[in-house]
Structure formats: C-alpha cells, structure tokens
Amino acid sequence: MAIFGKGKLKDSSSETTDFFYASDVHGSSRCWNKFLNAGEFYKVKNLVMGGDLTGKAIVPIQKNLDGSFVVTFAGETVRGSSTDELDRVLLSIRHNGMYPWEATPEEIEHHRNDTNARDELFETVMISELKRWVDLADAKAEETGISVYGIAGNDDSWECDQVLGSGKHFQLAEDRVVRVGPHEMIACSYSSPTPWKSPRELDEESLYKHYRSLAEQVENPEAAIFMLHVPPYNSGLDQAREVNYEDLTVVIRSGQPNEIPVGSTAVRQIIEEYQPLLALHGHIHESRGVAMIGRTTCINAGSDYTTGRLHGAVVKLAPDKVVGKQLVIG
C-alpha cells in the first residue's frame, strides 16, 4: 500500500483514537479484503466503512454436463474445465465488484427472459456475498482485536442492514450512537435525490430532520464523529459531472462535461449547526479530499474500486481535536 499526500501523523498517546476509513467499495472483494487488512497495515485499532458495499451485476457462468464451463466477462469469453481455472474466474469477477453465478444453460436462459426471476436472483446472490463479507470481518476482528464499524449506502438495498447487523464483531452503526474509542459516532446511509433513484434517498428537508434526530442523541457533539454517506453541498467534496435526470446523459458545456456540486444542503446544515469534531463522507467517488466547515474536519475518502485500489484515510483523534489525517491508496 502507498501513502498519498503529506502530513506526518503525530506520535500516538493513550488519549488518542486512531482508525482507517474507507467507503464505496461496490462489491469489490479485493477492496474489502484490503479494508479488513488495513488495521494491521496502518497500525490502527479501528476500521470504519462508510457505505455502498454491494455490487451492481451478476456474471453467469455456464456449467456444462461434461464439467466444463464458459463465461463472458469484461469483453472476453473464457472456457475451462478444471477447478483451478474456475477458481481464477470466480476471484476475478469478485475482485471487479460483480457477483459470479454458476448455472446450467437452461437456468441462464430462464433468468435472461424473466425480469422477476432475475431480480430475485440478484437479491439472493448479493445477500449471500454480503454475508460472506461479514463473516470475513468477524474472523478478522476475532484474530486481531481490531474493531470494525460500518453502514450500507444509498445504493444498497434495505435487506443489507439485517446482514450487517448479524455480525458477531462487525458493528452496524446505522441510525444510532456507537462509540469509536471515547468518541460518539452517528451514521446514516441516506443520500439526497440522485438521477438514478437509488434505494435510500430523501428530499433535503426530510434528510435534515433525520440527521437532526440522530444528532440530538449525541451528548458531546464537539468530540463526535458524524458519518453521513453523502458529502456536504459545495464543500469541494461533492464535485461531479452534471447529469440529465431524463436520460442520464452527461451535460456538456463549451464542449466539456459540466461539473457541479451535488452534495447535500442538509448535511452541510447539520454540520454547521452541531460542529462535530469530524465528518466522514463518500458517495462522490471523484471528489476525494479534506475540507473544513467551521471547526469540523470533513473527509471524503473517494473510490476507485473498479481498479481494485482502495482509497481511504488514516485518522487520529485527540479528545478535542483532529491530531492527524492522511489520505492513502492501497
């Protein structure tokens, strides 16, 4: 793993809390494994995941009666017959944020022609893979003693919360106050409206009310962590290409894609009002960075999951200030 950026972290003390933060891995098992190993690599005691965990597509692997298989993936058709060949294909699909599905030619054809069957299959496969991730997190936490916290994101279905909440050591932080060391943390997976009409979206007024109901549960806001999946509006952490809601095409101005702030005004308002010590965000993959809103340090870890590189941040907190922060890539 490589360090990105400058800013040497100060020496740790008994009064500091350190953690690794990442978000938006979108089904990439390579990124998830790197996340689980980041605690030991960066020598931190806590891992925090900011949402959008699940992938977006199934890749069918046709299993034939003679034991051979064929799959078309990333524009290439692969044929094989050995277990080792199949294992390599399964690993490659998972690393790229998609879900492998082994099936007969008849099963594949049935699901290709039946939308309901296809939707049910996707949900089943997605939940199965997410359960596997939680099991990996539990095993890693059992082995290392490193705490693991996380939430789903706006792209994740509501069924994911039950899986995330079933972990023995993985701590689902959604809609409640949890402790990261001595620091209270609230977390929320919702986003403001998007052109893609994802599962977890609220208008800005409803979003603010939801955040407010969480923030009111915090006893010491000035030492708290607010993990809100969508970044604050016009913060520099929310720049993205403008998209037409009607046909999802990119808006072009003067021959170039038009970039605009697409974050949440509700997030910005709640941060301005409560001024937590730290705010953690994701959602806008290309707006990786650090910004200040009043006394609050805001971080968007960014995402480059399609390449298998994990974007994250190593953070160290004193009781009343951010001691250090580094953006990292692994």
* Domains assigned to the chain: 2-55+139-329 (3.60.21.10), 58-117 (no CATH)
Q: Which two tokens stand for residue 132?
A: 């596997």
Q: Note the pLDDT of residue 14.
A: 56
Of the CA atoms within 13 Å of residue 316, those in its CB half-sphere come to 16
Q: Tell me whether strands 239-241 and 259-261 are parallel, antiparallel or unpaired.
A: antiparallel
Q: Using CA atoms, how far apart are residues 135 and 310, in angstroms rounded to an integer?
A: 20
Q: Using CA atoms, how far apart are residues 115 and 133, in angstroms rounded to an integer?
A: 27
Residue numbers of the chain with a pLDDT score lower than 70: 1-14
Q: What pTM value is reported for the model?
A: 0.92
CA atoms 222, 50, 171, 169: torsion sign? negative
Q: Using CA atoms, how far apart are residues 83 and 99, in angstroms rounded to an integer?
A: 18
Q: Note the pLDDT of residue 109.
A: 96
Nearest of 41, 71, 77 to residue 59 by alpha carbon: 71
DSSP 11-26: PP-TT-EEEEEE---T
Q: Note the pLDDT of residue 8.
A: 43
CA atoms 262, 268, 270, 275: torsion sign? positive
Determine which helix (DSSP H) or strand (DSSP E) holds 209, and give its type and residue range.
helix 204-215
Q: Note the pLDDT of residue 83.
A: 94
Q: Using CA atoms, how far apart are residues 165 and 137, in angstroms rounded to an integer?
A: 12
DSSP reduced 3-state for 211: helix
